Amino acid sequence: MKSKKQSYDRVAKFFDFLRKGDMRRWNIHQKSLFENLSGEVLYIGIGTGLETVNFPADLKITAIDISAAMLKQSKTRAKSYPGKINLCLMDAESSAFRDHSFDSVVTVCVLCSVKHPVACLEEIKRVLKPEGKLVMYEHVLSKNPLYAIALKTMSNLTEFLEGTYLDRDTVCNAEKAGFKIFSHKNVYLDIVKALIAKPI
């Protein structure tokens, strides 16, 4: 079985095509959610940088990804952002940042992709300031039994293609990691959510 890094390196050149339809549907929701970002921002899983067009201007962003191929694809968009984006090759589950380094952390379809989501969220809490915000735009498992079955089935394919799991309970995982959800919006049914959490 290929590693997570190998999976993302493999799809980097095709990633924009795979996400094209999603971005058309998601742009307006992401722009609204990302208005909550401020201060020193950690962007986990920048991928090819598709979401950077939805960030408010003039942020200072440190953007990480586990895939060197994805980071290479993101360089042009990072340079075009009307603020500052520094790119770093790094694993979200074991980052090199000091405790309480960031005012905001943003994830976009990351907590449905990492191997150990609770451990990743605990690492996010470590690097986030006590008064900071975790801003999440994530695929999650539906509470509707029919949708849930479909998502679990689709996860077998998406895990192979992109290393993505569509059956994660991200709200519960965030609470397990020591966060309190204080903004919870369903973007598409209850399958894609816009969430804001704070450490407790």
Q: Where does residue 36 rank: exposed (0-12), middle (13-18), buried (19+ CB within 10 A)?
A: middle
CATH topology of domain 4-199: Rossmann fold (3.40.50)
Q: Taking the alpha carbons of 189, 136, 60, 22 in that order, is the dihedral positive or negative?
A: negative
- Tell me which amino acid residue 92 is: A
% of the chain surpassing 70 pLDDT: 92
pLDDT of 159: 61
pLDDT of 70: 96
CA neighbours within 13 Å on the CB side: how many for 11? 19
Contact 78, 52 (CB under 8 A): yes
Mean pLDDT of all residues in the chain?
91
Domain ranges across the chain: 4-199
pLDDT of 163: 60
CA atoms of 72 and 191, how far apart (whole Å): 30
| CA geometry: angle 2, 135, 176, nearest 5 deg | 70
- Band the pLDDT of 107: cuts 50, 70, 90: very high
Pick 17 or 167 by higher pLDDT: 17
Range name among 82-86, 95-99, 100-104, 163-167 with the lowest pLDDT average: 163-167
Closest to 87 measured CA to CA, from 69, 99, 100: 69
Strand pairing report for 179-188 and 192-199: antiparallel
pLDDT tens string 163-184: 677 778 999 999 999 999 999 9
- DSSP code of 156? H
Q: Which helix (H) or strand (E) holds 73?
A: helix 68-80
Q: Taking the alpha carbons of 162, 167, 169, 171 in that order, is the dihedral positive or negative?
A: positive
pLDDT of 157: 62
- Band the pLDDT of 110: cuts 50, 70, 90: very high
